[in-house]
Amino acid sequence: MTTTREDLFGVLVREHERGLHAFVRSCVHNRADAEDLVQDVFAAAWRRMADYDPNRPFAAWLRGIARRKILAYFRSEAGRRQNLHLVPPEAVAAIADEHEQLTRPARGEAYRDCFAALRECLESLSAEDRQIVERTYREQQNCRNIADWLGRTVDLVRKRRQRARAELRDCVMSKLGPDGADF
């Protein structure tokens, strides 16, 4: 099962969207502008994904892009002061608390470790079990189609898929350790 760049980026977006939104909203009071900035940040991150160092936290890299986008936003708004709103201190505190809660565990890094372990564990499956897993989850095929393709019975495919999932679970858990899979 090959994980594509788009798949990984989608996981990272889902993982970091709330935290990035909280960070941007802590700086930009206008909700619509903040949402636009978040989208701009993700678009820039997608374009610059080749520049990302996977040994560094993804959230920090995103916040760096966001800081530059926010500065550009304030520069462009400087001529239109009536559109700028000061954020009340209690709102800043609430947003900062939410941001802290969302970023405390480095969940993006945990997902990256989990995906790396899963890739390794997939390689340890037999070729046929790996094909069953790929066709089930990557290609969204049902057991009947997979059984027809393999020339096997549906019951056999179901049983092999069940065993492959259990083997993958055990393998990933052993690679991550007792605390590694806590998301």
pLDDT tens for residues 16-59?
A: 888 888 888 888 878 899 999 999 999 999 999 888 887 788 88
170 and 133 within one domain = yes
Q: Does residue 182 fall inside a structural domain? A: no
Domain-ending residue, one of 104, 129, 146: 104
Nearest Cα residue to 102 out of 25, 179, 41, 18: 18
- What is the count of structural domains for the chain? 2
Domain-ending residue, one of 87, 104, 121: 104
pTM for this prediction: 0.46
**What is the rounded average pLDDT of the residues 103-107?**
51
Using CB atoms within 10 A of its CB, is residue 167 exposed (0-12), middle (13-18) or buried (19+)? Answer: middle
pLDDT score of 43: 94
167 and 117 within one domain = yes
Domain-ending residue, one of 46, 71, 104: 104
97 and 113 within one domain = no
Structural domain including 117 reads: 109-176
The total of other beta-carbon atoms located within 10 Å of residue 55's CB is 6
89 and 36 within one domain = yes
Specify the CATH number for the domain of residue 68.
1.10.1740.10
Q: Convert the pLDDT of each residue in 139-168 to its tens digit.
A: 888 999 999 999 999 999 999 999 998 898
